[in-house]
A and B are shown apart, each in its own frame.
Chain A
Amino acid sequence: MKVLLSWLRDFAPLAGDVEYLGDQMSDLGMAVESIDQLGAGLGEIVVARVVALRAHPDADRIQIVDVDAGGETLLQVCCGAFNMAEGDLVPLAPVGATLPDGMSIGRRKMRGEWSEGMLCSPAELGLPADDDGIMILGRGDDALDGSAVGALLVDALGIETDAVFDLEINPNRPDALSVAGVARDLAARLGEPFALPEPPPLVGGTPADSVEVRLVDADLCGRFAVMSVDGVTVGTSPAWLRRRLEAVGLRSVNNVVDVSNYVMWELGLPNHAYDRDTLARLDGGPVVLSPRWARPGERITTLDGIERELATGVGVIADADDVAVAVAGVMGGASTEVTSSTTALAVEFAWWQPMAVAVASRLLGLRSEASARYERGCDPGAIELAARRFAQLLVEVCPTAVLSGGLVESCGELPDPTVVTVRTSRVNRLLGTALATTDIPPLLTPIGFGCTGVGDDELSVTIPSWRPDTSTETDVIEEVARHLGYANLPVRRPAQPTTGGLSERQMLRRRVRSTLVGLGASEAMPTPLLSSDDLATVGIEVPVVTITNPLAAEESVLRPSLRPGLLRAVAHNSAHRNPDVSLFEVGKVFVPADAPGVLPAEPEFVAVVLAGRSAPSAVSTLDRLCDVLGVTCELDAASPAGMHPTRSAVVRVGHTTVGLVGEIDPGVLERLGVVGPVAWCEVDLDAVTGAGGSPHPYRPVSRFPSTDIDLAFVLADSVPASVLRSAIATAAGPLLVALELFDVYRGPGIEQGSRSITHRLRLQAVDRTLTEAEVGEVRDAVVAAVATDPGARLR
């Protein structure tokens, strides 16, 4: 919402410089996004007349202009624009002048010709512009008096220095979507008087012969008032009106539309002028405007030239033929638009149900300045004033206009005035203040809130009709805080009622991350949004949660696995000549629930990808992970989808499958354009955290010597080494304190299809030195046990 300082000052003195006023608006919650100082830096620009245009001898894109700037001699200026003609009045920045953007003008040569200044475009002067090229102040004798030559531009144009504040208005401040509303708030803060304009009352009788209002749906429209105008001459608006509208970002259209927009901007009440002669009449009698809900299938072409299909929930204004001629609160129709040939108007001032306009705007995908105001809630009490202001301004900019009396109107359901009881004790509890009840009215009455005391602690507060957002005690307390100024509220630290800390899982997650970082892996953070193709590429085919309104097909599915994201990261790095990255991620995956309507499960996984490394690296990483997770895992050879069929295993803790480990399927890597191998391991943290249990008890360190025995067994390739290892561990019993696999041998001396695996067993007792006999017993027990299961022969 842009507001012009001079416009704000129509309502209140607003003493103070531009920066100060901007700070006050920000502090009131109308955040100043930018301040545009109009007319600043124009003090040295003069009006000059183009006397002659000459071709530059050495350049096609520059011409030489001789200008009369009121001095004794003509000045020669080089200019890159060609839109002016001899006799035109143009702005000249003479030598020594500084433009608003800080550029200073010197006497200089352009392609061998002197230039004694610069002719300016509107943009160079910081003024609004429709066209490129030099600003034409007048053609021949038009517009500006010849005596203006040599005058200062600001005097010739009547430019007053002014400022445009671009404000960010919060949704709960519909009142601040108007110049008057901003001025009211600001004047209250500054302790200055505020006054709305008081246009003369509408005179004459009710123009029932020209317009009739038939309000059909009272739940759509709270009040519908129409003013009738005849004798209209549509034309260009005067400069002051155009400048104000353009300064706040509105395009000047014609005097009628400009007045309509001006009133909306100033008072916050949208209004709409119909060409009355284009509206259907009732048997040659009055035109009819009839607010009602749209019927399914009904169509209208709106002012923007687009034909739209209406639907239930959209409000319209229908004419005597019951044809929709405007979308209520959003936009008028093209068929009844005010054009250059319009001579009679019906001007609508209405209050629409905010929700109706919000729904219509959303259903039609059509937002306008009117809908933005109506859906936040306009002031139904402003209708009279807006109509009078419209009439006042229209007569000023279109003197031929004749008002046909007062307003024709009809009322539907309007919100009741709100009265809220505000307890001072509650104000103080919520704000931490120590206000007395008498401190509160001075903050609220200047913004139109009526306050009457009820008791020592209570005020009865009447909410003004322009603050429909305010309906509860807390809403009013916010106003108290706003006008006290947030910076003036007390500051303290709460007495801490709780003890801070991380949960077990949060601490575990951090340990997992630092362990993996310690192993040289970097943490990646791929997006959880995938395409179905991403899953097919990595060979995963499982049920997924799908986004029903994705922005792009590439991000339309929630990941069921961390693999697509991390493998894509590997592919990205590989394509950038970093083929051997080690990456990990700790993150949620999404598993659709079986039952309808139940939220998906979101198990948290840790996954590690080691590009350029083979399966054993992944297993070794898995061992470190299991160590930090506090679990002992078993590997069961398997061929999970997307994994290398003979180099993968599922990870099991007890009877629960908690992850998988191995290498990515070479076919997957080929599709990703990655040269393998790529090692992978993933663990479901939700599944293992249950398995970990309490910290295991301390096992005393023995002070007695230990004994090592090496045992080499021949084992068939079909049996995993882990089976032999656990068989040895089980058979060796409690004396076994360490078990190390230190050699695997295939070759002469060992039959085809088998290998020799050597383990070193360290045996030790806590309470004694082991005897040779005891060591021998363990040895024999192990040899006997593994011979039976898994059928390993001592070598």
Chain B
Amino acid sequence: MSDLPLTQRLDALVASAADLVAGTGDLDALHALDVELTGRRSLLVEAKRELGSLEEDDRRAAGQAINEARQRVEDLIAARRSELAAQQRQARIEAERLDLTEREPARTGRLHLVTQARDHLEDVFVGMGFTVAEGPEVETDFYNFEALNLPPSHPARGMWDTFYVDVGDPGTVLLRTHTSPVQIRVMEATEPPICSIMPGRVYRRDTADATHTPVFHQIEGLVVDEGISFADLAGTLDAFTRAYFGRQVRSRLRPSYFPFTEPSAEYDISCVFCGGVGCRSCGGTGWLELGGCGMVHPNVFAAVGYDPERWTGFAFGFGIDRMTAQRHGVDDLRDLFTNDIRFLEQF
């Protein structure tokens, strides 16, 4: 080989290197070949050592030829290297292929439907400037009835079927029949202005059926300040109605009777199912009955030591369970409290 002219020898070398490089199967083999073709003991390096015996001009030309050959070999190797790297990556990626749907869907936890509704209600009212007050579920007759303008043997007490408990004298301690006793406790504890909601669990001595459970949840509100009027009540409930049920839902008040408010009103909202034109859910009336409200009765203020001439206020309240069950199409309220996971996981 050394008998041939340098350029021919270099061409032959590059040609054979091209075959060798193309024949490598992986990066390790390519690396070994790289050492063999361009390393210290390679023909290219050896050829460079021979340059010393040449004339100045020949040496420059030969050197240039060797460098060019070396460059061509290195380009071949580099090209092959990225080719092999791409193949290797492709092989690895193929080997790692996963079907991401080969799985059992995870069981996630859920908040109870009533909690979701209660949280949402609280959030809306907090946004309207209300705080959230709570009170005991076992109450005295005073807080549950008497202070709410329901003195003993008031005929309207029959509106609430009451569970009594074995605390104190018989008939004096009971399971609260509404969240209203919390109003009394809040007013006893603080001076106006008051702007609070009172959500919570209440008890009625009612036989359970599709539309009644002896244990259920209510939320009520109380606003007391100087100059609060029925207009503020109507405006507050209307703002709440739109915020909670949707912009297009309207509210209306109808005369009613509650011992602890006067004037009293029923609070209705336009039917959220039919938009107010009348359907099965609203009995064709276009309205859904939500709860009761009114101006705080002067006797209630008297019971907590507020001057009814100075302070005026309004209160409102409604049931959470029935409202939320209706929204979700739950026909039987008892289903809310059976705690069947097939029910709980739907919400």
Of A27-35, A146-154, A287-295, A752-760, the segment with at least 4 beta carbons within 8 Å of chain B is A27-35
A527-B132 in contact (CB<8A): no
Residues of B within 8 A of A549 (CB): 163-164, 205
Residues of B within 8 A of A431 (CB): 229-231, 263
CB closest chain-B residue, reference A514: B111
Which 9 pairs from chain A and chain B are nearest by CB?
A432-B231, A29-B255, A432-B229, A170-B257, A497-B193, A569-B339, A517-B109, A496-B129, A478-B263
- Complexed CA–CA distance, A514 and B109 (Å): 9
Q: From residue 595 to 627 of chain A, which have CB atoms closer than 8 A to chain B? A: 596-600, 602
A555-B214 in contact (CB<8A): yes
The contact of A498 among B131, B137, B203, by CB within 8 Å, is B131
Residues of A within 8 A of B312 (CB): 429-430
Provide 25 A-B residue pairs closer than 8 Å at the C-beta atoms, listed in order of the A residue. Answer: A27-B254, A27-B255, A170-B255, A173-B257, A358-B153, A430-B295, A477-B263, A481-B230, A481-B263, A486-B253, A486-B265, A487-B252, A487-B253, A500-B195, A503-B131, A513-B111, A517-B109, A520-B108, A523-B110, A546-B165, A572-B338, A572-B340, A590-B137, A597-B172, A597-B173
A-contact bits for B233-264, CB 8 A (1 contact / 0 none): 01110110000000000001111110000111
The answer to whether the Cβ of A436 comes within 8 Å of any Cβ in the partner chain is no
B-contact bits for A529-547, CB 8 A (1 contact / 0 none): 1000000000000000111
Known: A523-B109, A569-B339. A355 touches B231 (CB 8 A): no
Residues of B within 8 A of A526 (CB): 337, 339
- Complexed CA–CA distance, A172 and B257 (Å): 7
The contact of B341 among A486, A510, A546, A581, by CB within 8 Å, is A581
B298-A472 in contact (CB<8A): yes
Residues of B within 8 A of A460 (CB): none
Residues of B within 8 A of A568 (CB): 339
Residues of A within 8 A of B230 (CB): 430-432, 481, 489
- Complexed CA–CA distance, A596 and B252 (Å): 47
Known: A501-B131, A523-B111. A491 touches B238 (CB 8 A): yes
The answer to whether the Cβ of B232 comes within 8 Å of any Cβ in the partner chain is yes
Residues of A within 8 A of B178 (CB): none
CB closest chain-B residue, reference A576: B340
Q: From residue 543 to 573 of chain A, which have CB atoms closer than 8 A to chain B? A: 545-551, 555, 558, 568-569, 572-573
A520-B132 in contact (CB<8A): no
B193-A558 in contact (CB<8A): no
- Complexed CA–CA distance, A478 and B239 (Å): 23
A481-B166 in contact (CB<8A): no
The answer to whether the Cβ of B106 comes within 8 Å of any Cβ in the partner chain is yes
The contact of B138 among A481, A514, A558, by CB within 8 Å, is A558
B231-A548 in contact (CB<8A): no
Shortest distance from the beta carbon of B145 to any chain A beta carbon, whole Å: 15
Residues of A within 8 A of B252 (CB): 486-487
Q: From residue 88 to 104 of chain B, which have CB atoms closer than 8 A to chain A? A: none
Shortest distance from the beta carbon of B54 to any chain A beta carbon, whole Å: 59
Residues of B within 8 A of A521 (CB): 109
Residues of B within 8 A of A27 (CB): 254-255
B-contact bits for A470-498, CB 8 A (1 contact / 0 none): 00101101100110001101111110111
A494-B339 in contact (CB<8A): no
A547-B232 in contact (CB<8A): no
The contact of A26 among B254, B262, B341, by CB within 8 Å, is B254
Shortest distance from the beta carbon of B309 to any chain A beta carbon, whole Å: 9
Interface residues of A (CB under 8 A from B): 26-29, 31, 170-173, 354-355, 358-359, 375-376, 429-433, 472, 474-475, 477-478, 481-482, 486-487, 489-494, 496-503, 506, 510, 513-514, 516-529, 545-551, 555, 558, 568-569, 572-573, 576, 578, 581-584, 588, 590, 592-593, 596-600, 602
The contact of B108 among A517, A583, A597, by CB within 8 Å, is A517
B235-A491 in contact (CB<8A): yes
Interface centre among A486, A499, A526, A578 (most CB of B within 10 A): A486
The contact of B231 among A490, A506, A518, by CB within 8 Å, is A490
- Complexed CA–CA distance, A499 and B126 (Å): 8
Residues of B within 8 A of A593 (CB): 167
Residues of A within 8 A of B53 (CB): none
The answer to whether the Cβ of B280 comes within 8 Å of any Cβ in the partner chain is no
Residues of B within 8 A of A576 (CB): 340, 342
Known: A376-B155, A520-B106, A529-B214. A494 touches B112 (CB 8 A): no
Residues of B within 8 A of A29 (CB): 254-257
Shortest distance from the beta carbon of B271 to any chain A beta carbon, whole Å: 15
A-contact bits for B179-208, CB 8 A (1 contact / 0 none): 000000000000001110000010101110
The contact of A500 among B107, B129, B194, B234, by CB within 8 Å, is B129
B254-A475 in contact (CB<8A): no
- Complexed CA–CA distance, A478 and B175 (Å): 31
Interface centre among B136, B167, B262 (most CB of A within 10 A): B167
Shortest distance from the beta carbon of B135 to any chain A beta carbon, whole Å: 9
Known: A430-B230, A481-B230, A500-B130. A602 touches B214 (CB 8 A): no
Task: Give 11 new A-B contacts, CB below 8 A, not counting A486-B255, A572-B339, A599-B167.
Answer: A430-B295, A486-B252, A492-B231, A517-B111, A523-B111, A527-B215, A572-B338, A584-B109, A588-B137, A590-B137, A599-B136
CB closest chain-B residue, reference A487: B252
Interface centre among B164, B165, B205, B255 (most CB of A within 10 A): B255
The contact of B228 among A494, A569, A578, by CB within 8 Å, is A494
A528-B298 in contact (CB<8A): no
- Complexed CA–CA distance, A334 and B7 (Å): 141
- Complexed CA–CA distance, A124 and B169 (Å): 57
